Homo-oligomer: A and B are copies of this chain.
């Protein structure tokens, strides 16, 4: 059983995290001040430092959990017993939905600057997670196209597939519609985009 204090503490932390998430994504990391976050979270700016080492730690804690969760979901889909192209489409829609749900944060982990490899920053961890996600998608695309993992065309068409996927996400990441509305309205469009793309790619690969 958690004490009332612990509960309040947890609430404060969550509030800070939520506020930071909203502000970072709407105004950008640099443009948001610790005092902005504090005001939004309804606490003093010093309180933030009780829960997070510094501003960068906030960014980190904000980015990792959702992306790890997405990785799990994708793994689950991959392990299911269904046709590869169904899997790919499911995964794609999953990624889209995930990014739109977390849309005010998605660019936190999709647009991380290229990181110097020599220092183990928290950004490194995000980078790794993102790369893993890319790897899983490649794997799924490979299964669909029936290409060898060394075939250089795999990289080419995975990239192109990505453009489509990322374009969808970027296009709607600033929408004011709810994710449900968006997905309900546009799922056929998305599915069609995958379909025509795969048709085109297949005509080239075989």
Contact = CB atoms under 8 A, between A and B. Distances in A.
Interface of A: 28, 30-31, 107-108, 110-114, 156-157, 159-160, 162-168, 170-171, 173-176, 189, 192-193, 195-201, 203-204
A109 to B, nearest CB: 11
A171 B175 contact: no
Contacts of A197: 160, 164, 196-197, 200
A168 B195 CA distance: 19
A138 to B, nearest CB: 15
B189 A160 contact: yes
Contacts of A163: 163-164, 167-168, 171, 193
Interface of A is mostly: helix
B166 A114 contact: no
Of the listed residues A107, A111, A200, the one surrounded by the most CB atoms of chain B closer than 10 A to its CB is A200
B189 A200 contact: no
A28 B195 CA distance: 35
A108 B171 CA distance: 10
A192 B113 contact: no
A111 B167 contact: no
Nearest to A195: B200
A176 B113 contact: yes
A23 B23 CA distance: 26
B156 A162 contact: no
A112 B164 contact: no
Q: Which 7 interchain pairs have the tightest Cβ spacing?
A: A167-B167, A200-B200, A196-B200, A163-B167, A199-B200, A166-B167, A160-B193
B199 A198 contact: no
Given A110-B170, A163-B167, 4 more contacts: A164-B167, A196-B201, A196-B203, A196-B204
